[in-house]
Amino acid sequence: EKDIYILGIETSCDETAASVVKNGKEIVSNVVASQIMSQKRFGGVVPEIASRHHVEQITIVIEEALAVAGLTPKELDAVAVTEGPGLIGALLIGINAAKAFAFANGLPIIGVHHIAGHIYANMLMQPMEFPLLAIIVSGGHTELVLMEEHGAFTLIGETRDDAAGEAYDKVARVLGLPYPGGPQIDKLAAESDGQVEFPRAWLEPDSYDFSFSGLKSSVINYKHNLEQRGGKVNPAHIAAGFQASVVEVLTTKALKAAKEFQVKQVIAAGGVAANKGLRASLEEAFHQEEIPFYVPPISLCTDNAAMIAAAGSAMFLDGIRGNLAMNGKPGMPL
């Protein structure tokens, strides 16, 4: 059988990325141009600036992905690009580059949902088994998704306010840590010799939804009250307490969902899945229940194009094709 090579392109937020994936599971090249230095200066992602970076980087990144793969455009089978959700200006840079590339080289184009991409990052590590539970935790998402088969996504729980990564970034800012705050808090929490007790947002007993804005407010109030009384803030203790609350709620709800839907596999995805505390907690919980649990390596947890190419490969094999009328969908449903 002929090998299938898909070029993936991802520009939904702040990483300009291109990758070639073979047969939906083997990374041939994986190029990511990060805008992290620029965001550190501004304390976060500024949409207009992100778009400008994408414009500067996209052609270089695509050419490098092909060069590393040692393939000419004609040797590809399709181009897969993030269609949404994300920042509209950022999405459009990737989509227009994908359209131009597909048109110039006579290739089909496939629009991929960013979260489907995060989930399919796991295809690059091991075959997916259904029913499958995906825990998606990133800067823009906190979702529990049930998959009965390839391409079939059922949302069973989501955040009602801040995404988990957003909460990490906001708490980090309160503690005066640089952007992005997730890795900083993770590190502080791991080294901490104690922790402040913060509340857990369980919501209704039967709900798989999440809420993190109350926790964020608790952290702010705790720090404010302590400073008012002339106390000295211990950032590590706050980081550890905050992380313990996030990790316990995520682990408990994910475990309950995995049992209720009798899934054969649980995977975690998204930038926050890089969190050491969360990984350890999920690994232990699912190990005890003997439910196979996987998290891709960190480089495949944070935004990248290999995951888009992997999801695009599964769609390609399903016969799904987009067309050149494709537009960015900032609020694209899964």
Q: Write out the residues near ligand KG4 by the rule CB under 6 A.
A: 13, 138-140, 165, 168-169, 180-183, 186, 270-272, 274-275, 302-303
Q: Which stretch binds Zn ion (CB under 5 A): 121-129, 130-138, 153-161, 231-239?
A: 130-138
- The entry of ligand KG4, Zn ion, none that residue 165 binds, CB within 5 to 8 Å by partner kind: ligand KG4
Q: Within 13 A of 196's CA, how many CA atoms are on the CB side? A: 17
- The entry of ligand KG4, Zn ion, none that residue 275 binds, CB within 5 to 8 Å by partner kind: ligand KG4
Task: At 283, list the tokens.
Answer: 């690994």
**First vs last C-alpha separation in the chain:** 32
CA–CA distance, 75 with 98 (Å, rounded to integer) = 16
Among 51, 82, 138, 304, binds Zn ion (CB under 5 A): 138
Q: Which stretch binds Zn ion (CB under 5 A): 40-48, 131-139, 234-242, 310-318?
A: 131-139
For residue 180, cis peptide bond before it (omega within 30 degrees of 0): yes
- The entry of ligand KG4, Zn ion, none that residue 272 binds, CB within 5 to 8 Å by partner kind: ligand KG4
CA–CA distance, 45 with 4 (Å, rounded to integer) = 35
Q: How far is the CB of 180 from Zn ion (least distance, A)?
A: 12
DSSP string, 314-333: HHHHTT----TT----TT--
Q: How far is the CB of 54 from ligand KG4 (least distance, A)?
A: 14
CA–CA distance, 291 with 85 (Å, rounded to integer) = 30
Q: Which stretch binds Zn ion (CB under 5 A): 22-30, 80-88, 207-215, 298-306?
A: 298-306
Determine whether the annotation assigns residue 139 to a binding site: yes
Task: At 159, list the tokens.
Answer: 């955040």
- The entry of Zn ion, ligand KG4, none that residue 183 binds, CB within 5 to 8 Å by partner kind: ligand KG4
Using CB under 5 A as the binding rule, whether residue 303 contacts Zn ion is answered as yes
Residue spans of beta strands (DSSP E) within 150-261 = 152-158
Nearer to Zn ion (CB atom), residue 58 or residue 255: 58
Task: At 203, list the tokens.
Answer: 């919501």
Q: How far is the CB of 187 from Zn ion (least distance, A)?
A: 21
Whole-angstrom CA distances from 60 to 41, 170, 214, 294, 315 are: 24, 33, 43, 33, 26
Nearer to Zn ion (CB atom), residue 86 or residue 235: 86
Determine whether the annotation assigns residue 70 to a binding site: no
Q: Which stretch binds Zn ion (CB under 5 A): 52-60, 152-160, 283-291, 295-303?
A: 295-303
Bridge partners, 32 (sequence order): 17
Q: How far is the CB of 228 from Zn ion (least distance, A)?
A: 38
Q: How far is the CB of 274 from ligand KG4 (least distance, A)?
A: 4
Separation of CA 203 from chain center: 24
Using CB under 5 A as the binding rule, whether residue 14 contacts Zn ion is answered as no
Residue spans of beta strands (DSSP E) within the chain = 5-10, 15-22, 26-34, 78-84, 109-113, 132-137, 142-149, 152-158, 265-269, 293-294
**Binding site, residues?**
114, 118, 136-140, 169, 182, 186, 275, 303
**Binding site for substrate, residues?**
136-140, 169, 182, 186, 275
